[in-house]
Amino acid sequence: MSQPTAARDGLSVGEAAREAGVSIDTLRYYEREHLLRTERTPSGHRRYSPGDLEWIAVLTCLRETGMPIRRMREFATLVGEDDDATIGARIDLLAEHREDVLRRIRELEANLAHVEGKIAYYRGRSAG
């Protein structure tokens, strides 16, 4: 209990989930969706390396910016090919995503202004 699993190299799925701030089911789901591959212990338990955790952080970042799983799979495939010839494609994909995110931020800001206008309107109305 003092050093629960530090000696094994790699974290269990439960530990990795806690570290990464996602659910165990999400990690397994990502694997089914081919966003992630993991080593297994001889008995079939998943083991997560520090590199895996970094990759999960990348996935989480893409998800939080609204990238669909389908698109994340494309990216994961490019990265998984581990071929420098795919680097251009990776940049293109990320750059396109960047534009999407910027567009969405601008949309949010525009709509936010309307919400604020509405708030101001109600404040005026309640003040009489």
Partner DNA sequence: CGTTGACCTGGACCGCGCTCCAGGTCCTAC
Partner DNA sequence: GTAGGACCTGGAGCGCGGTCCAGGTCAACG
By CB under 8 A, tell whether 68 contacts a copy of itself: no
Q: Is 13 in the site for DNA (CB under 7 A)?
A: yes
- DSSP assignments along 16-60, one per residue: HHHHHTS-HHHHHHHHHTTS---EE-TTS-EEB-HHHHHHHHHHH
With CB under 5 to 8 Å by kind, the binding choice for 25 among DNA, a copy of itself, none is DNA
Contact present, 71 and 93 (Cβ < 8 Å): yes
Q: Which x/- pattern, by CB under 8 A, does the window 17-56 give for a copy of itself? A: ----------------------------------------
Considering beta carbons, is residue 25 or 92 the nearer one to a copy of itself? 92
Are residues 73 and 36 in contact, defined by beta-carbon separation less than 8 angstroms?
Answer: no
Identify the residue among 70, 114, 123, 125 touching DNA (CB under 7 A): 70
Cβ neighbors of 9 (< 8 A, separation 6 or more) are: 47, 49
Nearer to a copy of itself, 7 or 115 (CB): 115
